[in-house]
Structure 1
Amino acid sequence: MTRELSRYIHTDSLTELPNRRCFDENLDKDWLKSAEVGKAMAIIMLDLDNFRSYNAMFGYQGADNCLRWVAESLSAVGNMRNAVVSRYGGASFVLTLSEDRTPEGRARVDMLADQLRQTVISLQIPHPQPGIGEYLTASVGVAVEADVREGTPSDLVARAEKALAIAKAEGKNRVSVL
């Protein structure tokens, strides 16, 4: 019973991904683990562009199906990198990972962020609202803390959110890195 209750509490019922509560609870653990092994920690935040209008056009059932497709695809990409994708809320997803404190490690994080963005496009989910584009797209914000002894997990999340806001403000369907 305890295992079932834990799954219920920590899983987003729509997407079957870990939910925001699970992300928040694991963030400190991931931070400490990164410090122990001497790795950088990165947060990649992804938000579906113009999702409110998509929801208005296709209704809740259509929007729910869309979120399931996106969640499944993002999770597959995350699993290839041993990273967990969580539903952050609404049409937002978050991925936390540790990476080497090298330029190559940083490049891998940036490439993964763009791969996640491209994954959404590759689903070719129609978004027929005029002026938006043919398919659903996503904006991505990335924040990396090379030395986790110098910051806090909440600071890293705030930077990822800010990077995501910059990607949205600069025209959407892009990656912004802070």
Structure 2
Amino acid sequence: GIVKKSKVNGPRSKVNCSPVQVTVYPTLVPDLHVLASVNHVFNAILVRGDIVGDTLYYGRGAGQDATASAVLSDLADAALDLKLGTRSRIPPFVPHEREGAVLPIDDVVSRYYMRLNVTDRPGTMAKIATILGDAKIGISSVIQPEGHAGEIVPLILMIHDATNVAMAQALAKIAKLQVVKGPPIMIRVENFE
């Protein structure tokens, strides 16, 4: 997951705090970034501080058995609370109100990797670029292997910063194009800025 908070100047209040971004989703990271070296059963958390800079917390994950056990335990606790009509058995989340509002997922801004299987014919890229351009979404780079006219080829696009809602709407329109074969693949790209 990713938690982002902008720097706060002055005393904390709901008025001058930037929204907190809390998300959990697959994300590509630059291959030279320290998080890219986390492999197999290991997990890592990167924390960035104003004075200390980046700090990394790294170790073995719980593993599938421990994770499955924890999920089942949480579900059993929730079911018991529903049956008893109480919420007191499960501790609440830490109230986020004191840190500011949570940024709605639609407003989260990210770069994106997009992979499409498309028919190799004139105008294919223009149709896709028009949809992205109309949504004010910029293309950073394009990779498409050479194919023969009429063949289905992969088209890979790296997308500049865009909101989640703008990308979702554009992707839905792109998926409906006759030249797009199969569901588009989109993965967020973290740039750690």
Taking structure 1 as the reference length, what is the TM-score of the superposition? Answer: 0.34
Asked which structure has the greater RCO (Cα within 8 Å, sep 6+), the reply is 1
Taking structure 2 as the reference length, what is the TM-score of the superposition? Answer: 0.31
Bigger proportion of residues as strand: 2
Larger-gyration structure (1/2): 2
